[in-house]
Structures are given as structure tokens and as C-alpha cells.
Amino acid sequence: MSLKGKAAVVTGSTSGIGLGIAEALAGAGANIMLNGFGDAAAIAKLREEMAARFSVRVSYNGADMSKPDEIRALIAAAEKELGSVDVLVNNAGIQFVAPIESFPDEKWNAIIAINLSAAFHAMKAAIPGMKARNWGRIINIASAHGLVASAQKAAYVAAKHGLVGLTKVAAVELANSGVTVNAICPGWVLTPLVQKQIADRAKEKHTSVEQEEHDLLAEKQPMLRFTTPQQIGALAVFLCSDAASTITGAPLSIDGGWVAQ
């Protein structure tokens, strides 16, 4: 599988799943536009290391994915610096956990903006170039929570279900344009986003992190182990391959059996 000469934008790729996907796409030869928050020196080092390790060009743009103007500027910067946006991975996401009656309005608005609306704005900006080149891959990182619910995650579950719906609409609109649009729906992946939830649970219940890791998995996933960012990266690379050229509009579970129950 070679993505040599192609360019990929991966939102939220300074950490966790996005970083795993960026590394996998770079490993397949794609030039990469990184995005996400973090320490400037650490991000500069990440860029250099990724470029050297995979012999690809690696740019960075710090667009805040809650801001449509900055999202449009991110896509424009990638087109200018890397020549095109052939692969768009909408991955940036945040979480907040509370019952609906006490869910803060600003957390609802932020989660809908970053986990759902950002994908709309990025796709809107990137699709014209993909159509003009008759080739594109859009991969939206949804979740098992794009297919089923959990208590206390109103905004996240609503955003991820919305993202799966948006994926289907885009797939239908782009069906004969050489552009596929799919959603990856992971179960538990041990990243900072989930480590925070585990630490909060351990604090609340006065138990250990190890105990809560086990309990978190046992509550939802028949398979009692975490998926890795590398495994999600490998699935993203597959979706970019010719073998996957008729997979479109699909929510693809990688969740240890979570939604099979």
C-alpha cells in the first residue's frame, strides 16, 4: 500500500489515536499535516522525528477545531504546504461526563463543535479539491458511542451518532466521485482521553487505576483488552487502499465486541 505523493490532514494528531493514525499514514508514504494542542517544543520534535523516520514531509497547524474559520485555514494551509488534501481524518475530540440535568451548557456546545461540527467544516473545505482530483478518502473517527449509548455521555453520544449520519450523507453525495467516506467506531483505546476517565473513577470509588481499567472494559467490551492507536492507524491505511475503494458510508467497529451484544 503506497500513499506516496498524497497528503493527509489528521485533526487532533498530537496525541492518542490521531497520532497513531498520522504515523500509520506516514508509514504508508503520505505527507502529513498534524493538528492539535500541546507544547510547541514537543510538537516541533514530533514533526522532525516523524519526517525523519518515514521520509515524508510533516507540517503542523494549530487550528482550534471548535472554530470554523481556523478549520478552513487548516485545510488551505495543507493545500498550500503539501500541495493537496487527499486524505482527511476527522479525529479531534473531547469528552465530558455528567447526567443531562447537570450537564454544563458550555461543555455541550464544545463537544458538539469539536466532535461533530468540525468534521462538517473540514469536509466542506476539503471536498472540492478531492472531487477535482477524482480521488479522496475521508475517515471520521466516531466511536462505539456513535452506534449505542452510555449514561452520562449525552453530548458525546449525540455528536458521535451525528458524525455517523454525516458520514453516510457524504458517502452518498460522493459515491461516484472517487471519494469514499467512512467512520471508524473504536471501543476502548487507552489514550489520555480514557486515562482521565479511569483516574476520575478510581478517585471517586477509592479504588486503584488497575481495578478501574478492568472494570471499565468489563462493563462494555466482551474482549477485556484495549485497542491500540496503531491498530486504528492500520485500519485507516486499509481504508485508503484500492481494496477498500467500494467501502463507503460504513461505520466500521473496532471495539472488542462492544456493539455485538
Shortest CB 66 distance to ligand NAD, Å: 5
Q: Which of 7, 8, 9, 12 binds ligand NAD (CB under 6 A)?
A: 12
Partners of 186 in the beta sheet?
254
- Residue 93 makes contact with ligand NAD by CB under 6 A: yes
Site for ligand NAD in 164-183 (CB under 6 A): none
Q: What would the DSSP string read from start to end of 111-130?
A: HHIIIIIHHHHHHHHHHHHH
Measure Cα distances from 19 to 82, 128, 143, 168, 206 in Å.
18, 26, 17, 25, 32
Applying CB under 6 A, which of residues 94, 97, 223, 259 lies at the interface with ligand NAD? 94
* Catalytic residue from among 156, 188, 226, 258: 156
Contact flag: residue 193 with ligand NAD (CB under 6 A): yes
Asked if residue 136 binds ligand NAD (CB under 6 A), the reply is no
The dihedral sign for the CA sequence 122, 127, 133, 135:
positive
> Residue 60 catalytic?
no
> Segment 29-88, which members bind ligand NAD (CB under 6 A)?
35-38, 64-66
| Percent helix, percent strand, percent coil in the chain, to nearest 5 | 55, 15, 30
- Report CA-CA distances (Å) from 193 to 18, 135, 136: 12, 33, 29
* Nearest-approach distance from CB 240 to ligand NAD, in angstroms: 18
Q: Measured from the CB of residue 50, what is the shortest distance to ligand NAD in angstroms?
A: 14
> To the nearest whole angstrom, how small is the minimum distance from the Cβ of residue 119 to ligand NAD?
9
Pair 251, 146: CB distance under 8 Å: yes
26 touches ligand NAD (CB under 6 A): no
Instruction: Tell which one of 32, 77, 92, 170 touches ligand NAD (CB under 6 A).
Output: 92
Just list the catalytic residues: 156
